[in-house]
Copies of this chain bind each other. A is one copy, B any other.
């Protein structure tokens, strides 16, 4: 059974605007990279926006070429007959503002100077990313999204859509999310920042793309990486195995888990821009649904659509208690809310690793909306 969307292509939407940011600064013109799967129906009522996490991109499903080793990042979820069924739904995924995978970000050329923004790029909030996505949804001629679904930073975007564009979403599905990042999450990002700043090649953000601060950036990624895993998933994957090449009593000897973190960190350097990583980390840190409201309660009164929430038992980056904090407020406010705590050993990454544990509930939820 081939349930792939097949060969897909990233599109680039241009917006000749000056987007007003939460910081008070403006940013424009803008480019947003995006992909779509399936077809918009004549009523324009079957569009689903998929929102990605920190280092994700617009390529959520299918392959760019037959030879691609791996499909898009949520290919398990999107395709004919899958939970986000492209025979029924028109699925859109766009790379967030501030990223480096085709959308305007710190590595983009500032048209006013002809040079990359680097650290002259404005600090963004998740709310700004969502405002930029709304421009894309406008351009695609869609008044109302059937749902916005995403994990981690994608969950934050889904919630912001619900709160700030209540007329434009029929539902939201935040997965492994929160109403505000915790001091622990901020602390982990702070360590990643310091790892980059410590690298002499960082040059206060003015490194050349071909000479990124690779040592510091790989370490920054590894710091993030452990927060996506869980003690249990590490036990399953590595245990206490020592790397065969190295002696147990060699000072520089490595356990398997540390070789893996190093390897992944190094790989990441080649596929992501350091400044983008830091700007998105900052957006995560600043994330608070109550920003510019008096309270989270006041913010959440604006969410009128049904919301479906998932949290994972082994997630220690955005632990279930943080999702429950939001869900509890929504219940107190009498909002239509459904919440499931999913038993999974894969930590924060569970939303990518074990989608089958929550997709049946997503299907039921979407069927009910569409009926």
| Chain A interface (Cβ < 8 Å from any Cβ of B) | 22-25, 119, 122-123, 180-184, 186-188, 190-191, 193-195, 198-200, 205, 215-216, 218-219, 222-223, 226, 229-231, 234-235, 237-240, 248-251, 254-255, 257-258, 261-262, 278-279, 282, 285-286, 288, 316, 319
Contacts and interface: CB of A to CB of B under 8 A. Distances in A.
Contact of A226 (B191, B230, B261, B319): B191
Contacts of A319: 231
Nearest to A213: B198
12 contacts: A123-B249, A183-B231, A187-B257, A187-B261, A190-B254, A191-B191, A191-B226, A195-B195, A198-B198, A205-B251, A251-B279, A316-B316
A235 to B, nearest CB: 6
A181 B223 CA distance: 19
Nearest to A125: B249
Given A198-B199, A198-B219, A231 B182 contact: yes
Interface of A is mostly: helix
A354 to B, nearest CB: 19
B184 A234 contact: yes
B248 A219 contact: no
B23 A249 contact: yes
Contact of A258 (B186, B215, B231, B257): B186
A230 B25 CA distance: 36
Q: Could you say which of A193, A222, A249, A278 has the most chain B C-beta atoms within 10 Å of its C-beta?
A: A249
